[in-house]
Structure 1
Amino acid sequence: MASLLCCGPKLAACGIVLSIWGVIMLVLLGIFFNVHSAVLIEDVPFTEADFHEDKSPPQRIYALYDQVSYNCFIAAGIYVLLGGFSFCQVRLNKRKEYMVR
């Protein structure tokens, strides 16, 4: 079981903290992109053609907002997986410490 141990207790705890922060931050960003927050327009990958060539430019921009929102939620899911891995590492480190004593 100790062969699955690949990082120490401090690194695993740091991974948990960073994962929690990443999930909170990315979920909030995903929500704000999903409601088409005007403050985040600079982070939406649009071009001039998105405004001029389309018959309904707001719908195209909203679709780009939604795509960035989905990307944020996917990244938050990856952080959840990383947090789960870090949590398992913490548990394995505690088990190893208990077995040594």
Structure 2
Amino acid sequence: MRGLICGPKRAACGIVLSTWGVIMLVLLGIFFTIHSAVLIEDLPLTNQDIHQDANPPQRIYDLYSKVGYNCFIAAAVYVLIGAFSCCQMRLNQQKEYMVL
């Protein structure tokens, strides 16, 4: 069977992990985009961002937006991995059907 790369258990694991990854990263992206104060420790801040800037809140808000955007990109990658895993699951089912 052409295109079959992984077995049914690995494909099912990929579906579960990608579903969880999409949910988690979309929520993180939303919370970073709305500038959640709880997530400030996860920003790549330097002393220059806080102390030497004339308008520090704007730079911090830009960092929040950048990290949120990166979370959405990572969620899109997980969607692609999930789609690949679904295709592998379907190919495995077709293989089992042809054998029987």
User: Do the structures match in fold with TM over 0.5?
Assistant: yes
Tell me the TM-score normalised to structure 1 length: 0.97
Number of aligned residue pairs: 100
Aligned runs of 1:85-96 on 2, under 5 Å?
85-96=84-95
Q: Distance in 2 between matches of 1:48 and 1:36?
A: 19
SS of 1:4's equivalent? coil
Q: Distance in 2 between matches of 1:100 and 1:51?
A: 64
Percent of aligned pairs with the same amino acid: 71
2:14 corresponds to which residue?
15
Deviates more, 1:30-39 or 1:46-55: 46-55
Deviates more, 1:46-55 or 1:33-42: 46-55
Q: Distance in 1 between matches of 2:48 and 2:75?
A: 31
Q: Distance in 1 between matches of 2:5 and 2:48?
A: 49
Aligned runs of 1:1-101 on 2, under 5 Å?
2-101=1-100
Deviations 1:32-87 (A, max 9, x none): 00000010001000111111221110000000010100110000000000000000
Q: Distance in 2 between matches of 1:45 and 1:33?
A: 13
**Unaligned regions of 5+ residues in structure 1, if any?**
none
Deviating 4+ runs (over 2 angstroms): none
Q: Distance in 1 between matches of 2:37 and 2:56?
A: 15
Alpha-carbon RMSD across the aligned residues, in angstroms, is 0.6
**Unaligned regions of 5+ residues in structure 2, if any?**
none
Aligned letter for 1:71?
N
